[in-house]
Amino acid sequence: MKKGEFENPSQEIRGLMIKELEEDISSNLFYFPKTIYPNKEKEYKNILKIYFKEKTITELIQEINKNFINRNYLNIKVNSHETLGEGEFNKYYQKAVCQIAIPIKKKIRIVRWKQVSQPKYLPGFIEGTEFNSDNYYRILKGSQFQPLGPNSGLTIEII
């Protein structure tokens, strides 16, 4: 993966991220985090669209921290805004990458986009693992979460 490709994706990827977000919202697959102020759900969804369209993942994390994280939520972690921002961005980034890979019958591979102090791996989803893009997309579409797990530092690329 080219440096910066995940943090600041192409306009094609960004457009597909927004399309996937809108589909999740309309089909009630969108997961609204409990750590966000309950009265900010509509605003949160709109902010995701805006930031997917033209901002970086870092800017999204800052926005979530500044305006959306409910620090009074029971057992909230100090880095919850990072976990949430990276997770939201990555979930829709992965769906968009699959949308590009499927029609051209390309596989995807799990890659590291960020170094983390304690990498977390879910069984079958480790760095270097390859998947048929259609199968991986079905995994993504079948869950409100992405299979690489929070704070893993992993995403996917087309191979």
What average pLDDT score do residues 39-48 get?
97
In a domain, 34, yes or no: yes
In a domain, 6, yes or no: no
In a domain, 4, yes or no: no
- What predicted TM-score, i.e. pTM, was given to this entire model? 0.93
Using CA atoms, how far apart are residues 66 and 9, in angstroms rounded to an integer? Answer: 23
In a domain, 23, yes or no: yes
**Tally of domains in the chain:** 1
- 1-5, 130-134, 154-158: segment of lowest average pLDDT: 1-5
The domain containing residue 81 runs over which residues?
11-158
In a domain, 5, yes or no: no
The answer to whether the beta carbons of residues 144 and 29 sit under 8 Å apart is: yes
In a domain, 125, yes or no: yes
What average pLDDT score do residues 39-53 get?
97
DSSP string, 47-107: HHHHHHHH--HHHHHHHHHHHTB-TTSTT--TTHHHHHHHHHHHHHHHHHHHHHHTTTT-E
- What does the pLDDT look like over 74-92, one tens digit per residue? 889 999 999 899 999 999 9
In a domain, 1, yes or no: no
> With pLDDT > 90 as the criterion, what percentage of the chain qualifies?
70
In a domain, 107, yes or no: yes
